[in-house]
Amino acid sequence: MSAGENKRVGVLLGGLGSEREISLKTGEAVATALAERGHDVQRVYVDRDLDRVLRQNPIDVAFIALHGPYGEDGCVQGLLELLGIPYTGSGVLASALAMDKLKSKELFRLYNVPTPPYYAIDASQHDALEEMHGSFGFPAFIKPRRAGSSIGAGRANDMAELHERVLDAAHFDDSVIVERFVTGREVAVGILDGRALGAIEISPKGSFYDYKSKYQSGQSDYHFPARLSPTRYKGVLNIAERAASCLGVTGAARVDLLVTEGENEYVLEVNTLPGMTPTSLLPKIAAGAGYDFGDLCEAILDRATLGSREAHPARVNTTASTSVVGLAID
């Protein structure tokens, strides 16, 4: 979508979830980059009146810079489809599946994508936690079923810590995932149009890649490309592509994995709206693949569609706000 087309790009940022602060940083970075490239950019601060705001201040295409519930889970995508506004990222179903860690894992298992063993527990079942955990063992890793940025996540080394971690996670979702703790390198793969851009290795200075490690400068070291043998590196990219494909993910995405010394790889999750802050992983990976930040924003924008309503995206024309944007980049 070139500047000459003079389309109004609405960058959707903020939102209602616990990741609002990160969304504001992502959205501001994207809006600035697109404006510098000549786009007519409107910042759209998302709240429960989003439908009214978009009707009163029409946009031609939405760049979704939201994270977490009510932005990354298909809700906003569905609203945009009802309004006929093309948007960036995955469609309604893929967004919902990727946001739901339980459903993601069920599909990973169905399509033979390796993922750590797990079980789910509702907050109302907390009194039965010991029985449910049974011989699952320790350490375990606990996370809210539908949340991102490692919010509410943590490790438990015994039953007392497990109770504590489950209660912590339940503050962010009434359903919690308990996962087998896997010791390995943390690796993220950037995806664009179903193809892997590359893999980056993260070395957090804390116990794992938590919220602080992700968003505070200097809290993690990064290695691009990930320090793997060529054969294993190629295998990691392939697994990431399979994980994104089985969820129906489109546009730009990030796949998070653990790579063990025992030659095993495990997919943790697929992020359909990766962060675009100065410390975010997708821009780092894209830079290694030859995209500067503005190029990446442009590439994501050029892939905006009406989600599940459009099987074959076409470039936006200059007359209809319900047209879609598409551009293949080799």
Residue 149 is among the residues annotated as catalytic for this protein = yes
Residue with tokens 């025992």: 262
Q: Which of 145, 165, 254, 303 is catalytic?
A: 254
Q: Rounded to whole angstroms, how far apart are CA atoms 315 and 67?
A: 26
Torsion of CA 83, 13, 34, 251, to 10 degrees: -70
Residue 81: its pLDDT value, please?
Answer: 97
Residue 55 is among the residues annotated as catalytic for this protein = no
Residue 131: its pLDDT value, please?
Answer: 95
How far from each other are the two terminal CA atoms of the chain, in whole angstroms? 16
Using alpha carbons, select from 104, 252, 289, 269 the residue that is nearest to residue 186: 269
Residue 252 has pLDDT above 50, yes or no: yes
Q: Which of 73, 256, 265, 302 is catalytic?
A: 256
Q: Which of 10, 17, 18, 19 is catalytic?
A: 19
Residue 216 has pLDDT above 90, yes or no: no
Q: Which of 275, 280, 307, 323 is catalytic?
A: 275
46 Cβ contact list (under 8 Å, min separation 6): 12, 13, 14, 15, 16, 66, 70, 71, 76
Using alpha carbons, select from 310, 311, 191 the residue that is nearest to residue 249: 191
Residue 152: its pLDDT value, please?
Answer: 87
Are the CB atoms for 10 and 51 separated by under 8 Å?
no
Residue 269 is among the residues annotated as catalytic for this protein = yes
The model's pTM is 0.87
Residue 19 is among the residues annotated as catalytic for this protein = yes
Residue 306: its pLDDT value, please?
Answer: 86
Residue 76: its pLDDT value, please?
Answer: 97
Q: Which of 18, 90, 220, 271 is catalytic?
A: 271
Residue 248 is among the residues annotated as catalytic for this protein = no
The DSSP code for 19 is T
Q: Rounded to whole angstroms, how far apart are CA atoms 175 and 329?
A: 40
Mean pLDDT of the chain: 88
Q: Which of 215, 233, 266, 291 is catalytic?
A: 215
Q: Which of 72, 269, 298, 302 is catalytic?
A: 269
Are the CB atoms for 149 and 214 separated by under 8 Å?
yes
Indicate the pLDDT class of residue 151, thresholds 50, 70 and 90.
confident
Q: In terms of DSSP H, where are the helices of 224-278?
A: 230-247
Strands 140-144 and 175-180: antiparallel
List, in order of start, the domains of the chain with CATH numbers: 3-89+293-309 (3.40.50.20), 97-114+183-287 (3.30.470.20), 118-180 (3.30.1490.20)
pLDDT digits (tens, 9 = 90+) for 279-328: 799 999 999 999 999 999 999 999 999 875 543 333 333 333 322 232 22
Residue 207: its pLDDT value, please?
Answer: 60
274, two tokens: 């990766």
Q: Rounded to whole angstroms, how far apart are CA atoms 60 and 308?
A: 18
Higher-confidence position of 218 and 58? 58
The DSSP code for 307 is G
Q: Rounded to whole angstroms, how far apart are CA atoms 86 and 303?
A: 9
Transcribe 143-159 into DSSP letters: EETT--TTTT-EEESSH
Read off the pLDDT of each residue in 77-103 and give the average, rounded to a whole number.
Answer: 97
Are the CB atoms for 190 and 250 separated by under 8 Å?
no
Residue 14: its pLDDT value, please?
Answer: 96
Residue 291: its pLDDT value, please?
Answer: 94
Residue 254 is among the residues annotated as catalytic for this protein = yes
